[in-house]
Structure 1
């Protein structure tokens, strides 16, 4: 907007100069300098430093070679543009040049009337203050625009974080429970043993209740952000220890996959957050086995407590008559778990082997946790 305003003002000045030329019927050197000066003023809209140098040069030529006091007045007025757009050294150079040319005209006594020096000084001060005020307003506007952009960026980040949290809740809770429901519901028609049918029905009922609780908790969180969401029902998999791994191994055994389980009896030397994350990784791995490799001959879950950390290893073997890979390469759950584990300098890798599929997660232990 300021650029368009400046160009419009310069356009008006050029039209006025052309009007005077037409009225007088002559084109003098004063008219040439005036048009060149106006063109230099227009250049402030794109290249302020170059424009200032052009204005100083043209003004100097006009004062020295024509002795025109009007050029001094134009230089004084142009100080407003210089102060508003140029770097400090250009402003100082313009002011010093204006002072030198004013002194030169005053000493030669050619065109300045009595008190003309003070008039030029007053106009220069007013022009400088006007330019400085415009510069401050423009700087404040730039700060406000930058602040608004930062706020918008922060709000977008908060929205993305909330979306990720909801997606994690859907994946870690509801998707796992629905996978169990689907698996056992498909197995029911094929089961002839009453005990196996009872296990499947119990699992379907418990998983459905857990999924319903998770949905209600998620809806409460989405509808009312001012209050805390209801605490979810404690999961039987909380805590990476013998009980959690045994429960997951029992789940695989109930699903018809013979599973070996190994976990230390002592408390793991990692933080509760890392322990919970390892639990979620174990749940994700077991869910993937049930979902993608329900006919696996064997599986194993191992928690290994090392000197420098804790390692989780989950394996399954592929059926001998299955040509395709037993488990997909991993989806959102494992990728998100890898990102979260990396924040604690942990590692998570998974992939296919000649026998089947393996997952390894490592959480380093700190000296404080080991002490």
Structure 2
């Protein structure tokens, strides 16, 4: 940790240490003022002492400013008074500098202390024999104590930051799981239930046995698919490390041509004539593009069945170009005939998000008396599933 740049970043004192420092400085100021009052005069030594203590108190708010104030006052005291006490105070204050300041400030403090100690040792007789070693020993102890406190503060800061990071990661994982479960509910179960509800309502009004059989078969198949989706969802909820395959990929073999053919049959079974305009062979596109195309096609067809069951016609068109593929699903219907099935608006919102993830574009809305969904996806080779 001592080699970490983050460890040596400037920092403020811990709130407890700040409070303790203020209390100690308050006591020292009271003692200094008491001696001045008792002596009957206020000397320059008393002024230097009070300013020095105020400089120490500034470590509670602005450590770097406080460090230079302390160095300046100590230098003035040593040069003009030759006092060894100022050296001692400067050596002790090295502990506060080591706790709070950047390395270059610590180095300046040590250089100033060394220069002043050398000055006193050469120019005055204030220091007793071995006084230089005493100052060096006190400074070393103060520095080590300061580094120890800095280590404790840094570890606490790192632990708090790590805990916050873990909380953010857990929240992100929870949101991701919620989105996966919601996608499973919407893309699988909700679509199947839409078909079941539509054909269950249409069943009593079917004109002949063949039409009723189509509705019954659709209800049965959709119910089976819904059960499979529920089992997949339960597996996803029990084991979040295993991602369940998307329902549409399982149903349509991950092939958009197969998917739109099957979806066209669903529209015809619902009584909506469909025009299918698509290549006869599989599209040569990355798997992620084909998967998103399937999602777009399912969403568009289910919205037609869900919100425009009386549409006069529908059209599914796929245009494969060298650098992109375009899916267009259009339905023409009277605005007065709308289903009363609920809609949360999630489908188109998630469709747009999925397209944005692979740099695609989605356009959906009314056009020329119809409703059109248009998805355009680039087919660069660097898209990965």
Quick check: 1:219 aligned with 2:225? no
Alpha-carbon distance change, 335 to 198 in structure 1, aligned in 2, over 3 angstroms: same
Q: Distance in 2 between matches of 1:162 and 1:349?
A: 28
Quick check: 1:350 aligned with 2:375? no
Secondary structure at the residue paired with 2:60?
A: coil
Quick check: 1:365 aligned with 2:365? no
Q: Distance in 2 between matches of 1:75 and 1:198?
A: 97
Aligned-pair CA distance for 1:239: 3.5
2:257–2:281 CA contact under 8 A, matched in 1? no
User: Aligned match of 2:351 in 321, 327, 337?
Assistant: 337
1:241–1:263 CA contact under 8 A, matched in 2? no
2:317–2:329 CA contact under 8 A, matched in 1? yes
Alpha-carbon distance change, 291 to 366 in structure 1, aligned in 2, over 3 angstroms: same
Aligned-pair CA distance for 1:226: 6.3
Q: Distance in 2 between matches of 1:348 and 1:38?
A: 68
Quick check: 1:273 aligned with 2:323? no
Q: Distance in 1 between matches of 2:255 and 2:112?
A: 79
Q: Which residue of 1 aligns with 2:68?
A: 53
Alignment gaps of 5+ in structure 1: none
Q: Which residue of 2 aligns with 1:127?
A: 142
Between 1:61-70 and 1:247-256, the stretch displaced more is: 61-70
Alpha-carbon distance change, 329 to 302 in structure 1, aligned in 2, over 3 angstroms: farther
Q: How does 1:1-371 map to 2 (within 5 A)?
A: 1-21=16-36, 24=39, 26-225=41-240, 236-319=251-334, 322=336, 331-366=345-380
1:83–1:132 CA contact under 8 A, matched in 2? yes
Between 1:187-196 and 1:306-315, the stretch displaced more is: 187-196
Aligned-pair CA distance for 1:349: 1.9
Q: Distance in 2 between matches of 1:211 and 1:198?
A: 20
1:326–1:357 CA contact under 8 A, matched in 2? no
Q: Distance in 2 between matches of 1:75 and 1:236?
A: 79
Alignment gaps of 5+ in structure 2: 1-15
Aligned-pair CA distance for 1:7: 1.9
Give the number of equivalent residue pairs. Answer: 368
Could you state the TM-score of these two structures normalised by the residue count of structure 1? 0.89
Provide the alpha-carbon RMSD of the alignment: 2.9
> Residues 211-230 of structure 1, C-alpha deviation per residue, up to 9 Å, x if partnerless?
12212221232134467769
Between 1:229-238 and 1:197-206, the stretch displaced more is: 229-238
Q: Distance in 1 between matches of 2:35 and 2:120?
A: 25
Aligned-pair CA distance for 1:60: 1.8
> Residues 326-351 of structure 1, C-alpha deviation per residue, up to 9 Å, x if partnerless?
99999322222222233333322222
Alpha-carbon distance change, 232 to 289 in structure 1, aligned in 2, over 3 angstroms: closer
Could you state the TM-score of these two structures normalised by the residue count of structure 2? 0.86
